Structure 1
Amino acid sequence: MANRLNQLLKQWRDSKDSQKWVLATIIETDGSSYRKAGAMMMINDLGQYFGLLSGGCLESDIMLQARRCWDSGHNRIVEYDMREEEDLAWKLGIGCGGMVRILLQPVDGENDYLQLDNLYALLEANEAAEYCQVIDQKSPKNTLSTAAPSDRPVAELGVFKQVLKPAPHLAVFGGGVDARPVVAIAMQLGWQITLVDPRTSYARDGHFDASVNLVRQPINSLGQSVWLQQIDMALIMTHNIKLDAQSLALVQSSAAKYVGMLGPIHRTDRVLDLLPINRDQLTKPLANPVGLRLGGELPESIALSMLSEAHAFIEQQDGLSISGILS
């Protein structure tokens, strides 16, 4: 299921005039909840929804509430309070123990599609945007700005404001068999993916989704590539020392915040000797050996390990067990 905002908007754009749509946004939570303020979902009159605001427990009722938006053309605010035994959420058996307030807004040409067309264009151009939604039960009045003063969603003076960012962009250097689960999992996360491999026998057609940006030029010729300044993460896994060295040199001038390289330390030392520099001279911190200690030897397990570390890094989390059961 697509949950990233750019994926939701793509689903909507393909039939924005042939179906009725509602945008559902969590504007406030208190206590335990599946998603936090800012989470969005798109709903249409075919009974389909894209994205999740709960673990699937609230969606059927949200769908019913959305129909009132189509009838009135106005916003609707609904609240599910799992703290109260008399509340609908409790009767639905959710039992998360928290409260969720959701703003439902009809999406149509009369309200300029809530600026979602323009928002999608900005996200596709790798630009962040401040999206503002007026919190009332009147006709929608949403505004969009490229200014991004705050990363934290806030509800103040009757307006819900949040900065919406493009999906994270991962560059994978190496199109071997073990790159396939890396790309597949990253796609499930909704990430943008650039796959780089100049070798004709690697990254073959049919092994990777058509939405992957496949780059086949020699690695040492890619220094001026636009995508280099759009990536957030890079994983180097060509299994070729010379190509790994070229890849590592290339990403030093990129926008990547996280760089991981597959292989043991002694092999990476050989890669660095080809540059020739040492680890202290790298402009980007190098995760090597790459990944979290998840165990498993199959390519899928290794892919999960690498992507878990990259995910934790860009989300600025520690990657530790939430329950502490592993400590």
Structure 2
Amino acid sequence: MKQWLETRQVLARLAEWQAAGVPCALATVIRVQGSAYRHEGAKLVVAASGEHVGNVSGGCLEADVREVALRVIRSGIAERREYCGSIDEIQAWDLGVGCEGVVELFIEPVHDAREAERAMLAAERAHVVETDLLSGVRRVYPLDARGEQSSGSDASTLRGDRFFDVLEPPPRLLVVSAGDDAVHLARLASSVGFRVVVADRRPGLLTRERFPLPIHLVEADAAQLAERIVLDADAFAVVMTHNFADDTDYLRALLRTPARYLGVLGPRQRTARILGILRNEGPVEHERVFGPVGLDIGTDGAEQVALSVVAEMLAVRSGRRPQSLRERQAPIHAAEPTPSASSSAPRS
């Protein structure tokens, strides 16, 4: 999810530097062995001035990577660099790598604005950037254009001397309300990578001062929601208008979509009343409704509520039951098994 957002930011700055004639180099994580702080596809673009955008580690590798990037800019020759050959996880973390193995980067001089890649990102289309690490030649094609040249994987991966950078649009989050507390939720969710849409029937609240780009703004009441916003089975939505009738109408509309997560802000009894009304109209899929919305972390104020909600959405997306990492026995970044029915119990 972060990879999509970061790639957009990195390529946008790269294009600005190319337009201004500023020499630059791009560093990309192409291989990770062990538990990684950053994964394959993480990027850092460096200008000849030393200015940079992006991130390829926990922060401690960046200084060395920038030095390599400046050398690449001067020489015009791409380099591959390995970091953290130790099996000591503590030492690896202290180096800012966060793994107990190897992190390999490809640092290449850049001579174009990567227009094909930026077009795919702008169109929010899943795609693959295949780079021949020997020649530097790149191909960009849709993720569904499978063939012998494809990585055959939905994750960025290194195969021989070719790196397949797989980019898929992150989940869409619909925030139903442009009120003051929604500002905090929309901004935080956008910063962690969700593609955020804010919908409200009050146009006066839908302003760029409150919701900066890339947050998308839509004026819509409940009746207009389906025709103006498309939510797929990976989408999230949070209803938080503070108006009982509006929340009921919006939730009714959202239950007709395939969105996987429908959060409802407010007390448990209030959500129960809304669901009682909707049950009288037909079946309600309770497992999709998270009300009261958010994790139980003891919140005070809109900022902390936003943190609680975003944390819950990330846990749902990754299929994890929220707990302190101190209690987790598996590696932090290990994939979670598919949650059982009991792990997705109704929240209403």
Note whether the superposition's TM-score is higher than 0.5. Answer: yes
Instruction: Give the match's secondary structure for 2:247.
Output: helix
What is the Cα deviation at residue 164 of structure 1?
0.4
Counterpart CA distance in 2 for 1:24 and 1:95 is 15
- The answer to whether 1:17 aligns with 2:19 is yes
Residue 55 of structure 1 is aligned with which of 38, 46, 58?
58
Q: Percent identity?
A: 28
Residues 33-52 of structure 1 show CA distances to partners (whole Å, capped at 9, x for unaligned) of: 42122222222222122111
What is the Cα deviation at residue 270 of structure 1?
2.5
Who is 2:285 aligned against? Answer: 282
What is the Cα deviation at residue 276 of structure 1?
4.9
- The answer to whether 1:105 aligns with 2:103 is no
Who is 2:6 aligned against? Answer: 4
Letter in 1 for 2:9: Q
Say if 1:55 and 1:95 are closer, same or farther in 2 by CA, change over 3 A: closer
1:7·1:190 contact (CA, 8 Å) conserved in 2?
no
Who is 1:122 aligned against? Answer: 120
Letter in 2 for 1:122: M
Pairing of 1:96-175 with structure 2 (within 5 A): 96=98, 97-109=100-112, 113=113, 116-136=114-134, 139-148=135-144, 149-175=152-178
Say if 1:167 and 1:49 are closer, same or farther in 2 by CA, change over 3 A: farther
Who is 1:180 aligned against? Answer: 183
- The answer to whether 1:266 aligns with 2:269 is yes
Letter in 2 for 1:166: P
Counterpart CA distance in 2 for 1:123 and 1:107 is 18
1:231·1:254 contact (CA, 8 Å) conserved in 2?
no
Instruction: Give the match's secondary structure for 2:180.
Output: coil
Letter in 1 for 2:126: A
TM-score (norm 1): 0.84
Residues 197-220 of structure 1 show CA distances to partners (whole Å, capped at 9, x for unaligned) of: 113564566333254322223231
Counterpart CA distance in 2 for 1:67 and 1:51 is 15
Letter in 1 for 2:59: G
Counterpart CA distance in 1 for 2:318 and 2:282 is 24
Runs of at least 5 residues in structure 1 that lack an aligned partner in the other structure: none
Counterpart CA distance in 2 for 1:10 and 1:284 is 39
2:232·2:257 contact (CA, 8 Å) conserved in 1?
yes
2:59·2:96 contact (CA, 8 Å) conserved in 1?
no
Instruction: Give the match's secondary structure for 2:153.
Output: coil
Counterpart CA distance in 1 for 2:19 and 2:202 is 44
The more displaced of 296-305 and 152-161 is: 152-161
The more displaced of 314-323 and 47-56 is: 314-323
Instruction: Give the match's secondary structure for 2:226.
Output: coil
Say if 1:278 and 1:324 are closer, same or farther in 2 by CA, change over 3 A: farther
What is the Cα deviation at residue 93 of structure 1?
5.5
Residues 248-280 of structure 1 show CA distances to partners (whole Å, capped at 9, x for unaligned) of: 123234453322111233212322344455795
Instruction: Give the match's secondary structure for 1:151.
Output: coil
1:124·1:166 contact (CA, 8 Å) conserved in 2?
no
Residues 291-326 of structure 1 show CA distances to partners (whole Å, capped at 9, x for unaligned) of: 11111221111111111111222233333222218x
Residues 42-91 of structure 1 show CA distances to partners (whole Å, capped at 9, x for unaligned) of: 22222122111112211111111112322343321011125189xxx98x
2:87·2:101 contact (CA, 8 Å) conserved in 1?
no
Say if 1:172 and 1:78 are closer, same or farther in 2 by CA, change over 3 A: same
Counterpart CA distance in 2 for 1:287 and 1:278 is 20
Counterpart CA distance in 2 for 1:49 and 1:165 is 24
The more displaced of 72-81 and 253-262 is: 253-262
Letter in 1 for 2:244: I
Who is 1:244 aligned against? Answer: 247
Instruction: Give the match's secondary structure for 1:101.
Output: strand
Letter in 2 for 1:29: V
What is the Cα deviation at residue 141 of structure 1?
1.1
C-alpha RMSD over aligned residues: 3.0
TM-score (norm 2): 0.79
Counterpart CA distance in 1 for 2:106 and 2:221 is 49
The more displaced of 186-195 and 53-62 is: 186-195
The more displaced of 247-256 and 53-62 is: 247-256
1:17·1:108 contact (CA, 8 Å) conserved in 2?
no
Aligned length: 314
What is the Cα deviation at residue 281 of structure 1?
2.6
Who is 1:323 aligned against? Answer: 326
Counterpart CA distance in 2 for 1:278 and 1:49 is 55
Runs of at least 5 residues in structure 2 that lack an aligned partner in the other structure: 145-151, 329-348
1:312·1:319 contact (CA, 8 Å) conserved in 2?
yes
Letter in 1 for 2:16: D
